[in-house]
Amino acid sequence: MFKYLTEEIARNMKQLKFFHVNCQSKLHKKIQIESIISDLGENCIFGLTETWLKNCDDETFWELKKDHFKTFRADRKLTKKTRGGGAMIIVPKKLNPKLRKDLVHTNEHDFESLWIECNINNDVSNKKKQLINVSYNPNKALLNSFLEELSTSIDYAITENKPITLMGDYNLDYLNKKEKQSLDTIMIPYGLKITNENLPTRISGNCKSLLDYIITDLPEYKRTYISDTPLRTIKGKMSDHYATSITTEIKMHKPPKVTLKEIFDKTDYRVE
């Protein structure tokens, strides 16, 4: 699964990584997603779009590797009859993530969006925080509204002076000159970089488009990777989106070893 991507990132296992994929139903790809999480390890923050989950789905069932990760969801509202939608962030617990609902300024009936805050790494002496967003725009006709509302969210986030990373499927083709300009107009003034600016993430026949993004202002951003195959179901059915991942130079630390000492109390023993 994603052989090229996982092999390349395996060389940077000690660094913080970000991963995004439009999975087109987490329900049908749960085992594959768990496999990817295992391959990329506990130093990676995962963003998923088009999870196709609903509020009535069992939350505990969808928590992946809950001993090591915390899962945040924004499901499509039940008022919508069509399937699809949904956004999710899966964050290592050692980064102490928390939900930031106050930063969401997108219409929840049109778009799915999540903001979380977490530590920059797991070094207890480093108190620096970062902000992470995962958003899904399901309708190209609403692109202008989506960008305007996402920009409002960034306006609030940027005032906190914390590094920002955005992930998601915006249904905006960055390989199209006009659409590229509309995204650049928003991101460049904030100092946010589109990390996969020349790499298509959706290929259908001879048509290539770049709809899925990892955007960041992290100065430690290092390199971008695109998967060599789309995500597949157990039965071999493919999504038409390719995964994107970036590595950074932010080093993650091994947890300190805990030494257990057995204390021998001589008073517990008496010689008759």
61-110 confidence digits (pLDDT tens): 445 556 789 999 998 876 555 667 889 999 999 999 999 999 999 998 89
d(CA 68, CA 41): 10
Q: Which residue has the tokens 């390349």?
A: 8
Q: What integer pLDDT is reported at residue 31 of this predicted model?
A: 73
Q: What is the DSSP-derived secondary structure letter of residue 238?
A: B
User: Residue 63 CA to chain centroid, in angstroms?
Assistant: 14
Q: Which residue has the higher pLDDT, 244 or 61?
A: 244
pLDDT, averaged across the chain? 82
**Amino acid in position 165:** T
d(CA 176, CA 204): 16
What are the backbone dihedrals phi and psi of residue 218, each rounded to the nearest 5 degrees, phi first? -65, 120
Taking 70 as the threshold, does the pLDDT of residue 119 lie above it? yes
Q: What integer pLDDT is reported at residue 270 of this predicted model?
A: 47
Extract long-range pairs of 233-236: CB within 8 Å, 24+ residues apart. 233/25, 233/28, 233/29, 233/32, 234/28, 234/31, 234/32
pLDDT (average), residues 38-54:
87
| Full-model pTM | 0.85
Q: What integer pLDDT is reported at residue 61 of this predicted model?
A: 46
> 244 has which bridge partners?
20, 226
Cβ–Cβ < 8 Å for 227, 180:
no
pLDDT (average), residues 37-62:
76
pLDDT tens digit sequence for 192-238: 999 998 889 988 878 899 999 999 999 999 888 888 766 655 455 56
Q: What integer pLDDT is reported at residue 166 of this predicted model?
A: 98
> 48 has which bridge partners?
21, 88
